[in-house]
Amino acid sequence: MVEIPANLQIRSLAAAWSIRAWRESFPTDTAQWYLNLYKAGDYSRSLPITITALSGRQLIGVGSLVADDELPNAPELGPWLAAIYVSPRFRRKGAGKKIVQELLDHAFLLGYLEVFAYTETKRAWYEKMGWQFVRNAELGNHQVAVIKRKLN
Q: What is the pLDDT of residues 73-114, one digit of tens each?
A: 899 999 999 989 999 999 999 999 999 999 999 999 999 999
Q: Tell me how many domains the chain contains.
A: 1
CATH number at residue 7: 3.40.630.30
Q: What is the pLDDT of residues 28-70, one digit of tens each?
A: 778 787 777 766 555 557 788 888 888 888 889 988 999 987 8
Q: Which domain holds residue 108?
A: 2-112
Q: List phi, psi (to 5°) of 139.
A: -130, 110
- Tell me, yes or no, whether 65 lies in a domain: yes
- Tell me, yes or no, whether 145 lies in a domain: no
Closest CA to 37 of 50, 20, 27, 25: 50
Helices and strands (H and E) in the chain: how many: 4, 7
- Tell me, yes or no, whether 71 lies in a domain: yes
User: What is this structure's pTM?
Assistant: 0.82
Neighbouring residues of 89: CB distance < 8 A, sequence distance ≥ 6: 60
Q: What pLDDT, on a 0 to 100 scale, did the predictor assign at position 94?
A: 92
